[in-house]
Amino acid sequence: MRTPPPVGGPRGKSGFDLPERGEADVRRASRILAALRKRYPDAHCELDATTPHELLVATILSAQATDVGVNKATPGLFAAFPTPADFAAASPEKIAPHLRTLNFWRNKSKSVHGAMTMLMERHGGAVPDDMESLLALPGVARKTANVVLGNAFAINVGVVVDTHVGRISQRFDLTTETDPKRIEPHLMALFPRPSWCLLSHLFIFHGRKVCKARGGSCADDAICRRYCANAVAD
């Protein structure tokens, strides 16, 4: 497994500048991480996949869709197209019927076909384990690349920021930013690199179970009462 470059200074973690955070903020973030790890010892990626290419496909499909919805679509999809070569040999029109239950299924069928075709042409059918190569694939943005690198290869180069991670980050006063691209470096500056992949799973679990966008139970939750602005608002 390839090791990412060592962390060193404000640009060492990702290639872009990270905000300066004080020791008190870092210690507070450490307490939040410890509390969530204790609460959710089984936190994990909830997209069903057994290989890197399956995870890549599932993550492409997860845009504007729930993990539950993706997991309902992928068994039939992966049975019909077991390998990147099978996807590449097909056409978007043959892939599309397996995705009809998902939003933007026509566009997603094109992205999946394009990504698998490029895997075959440039990488011999293997999913690359670096950010630059992943971002060159159709349908792959930074969030998708972070999911694949962290979960398929245990390589932490960033933090996945979805709607749950963004909401928890703001409510727990870890950032004032609202754009996922701006939230990510704040989290990277606060939390240790080895925790970045797990951190997103912990925030997602807590966001789905407790600290919900609407109808959450923040006021009744010990972690939220200590760290979440929404618990006070409730």
The residues assigned a catalytic role are: 143, 162
CB atoms within 10 A of CB 132: 9
> Using a CB cutoff of 8 Å and minimum separation of 24, what contacts does 161-169 make?
161/187, 161/200, 162/200, 162/204, 163/207, 163/213, 164/203, 164/204, 164/206, 164/207, 164/208, 165/200, 165/203, 165/204, 165/207, 167/207, 167/211, 167/213, 168/203, 168/206, 168/207, 168/211, 168/228, 169/203
Query: Cα separation of 16 and 75, whole Å?
Result: 38
Question: Is the dihedral angle over the CA atoms 211, 217, 218, 221 positive or is it negative?
Answer: negative
Query: Cα separation of 187 and 112, whole Å?
Result: 30
Question: Cα 218 to chain center, whole Å?
Answer: 24
Q: What is the DSSP letter of 194?
A: G
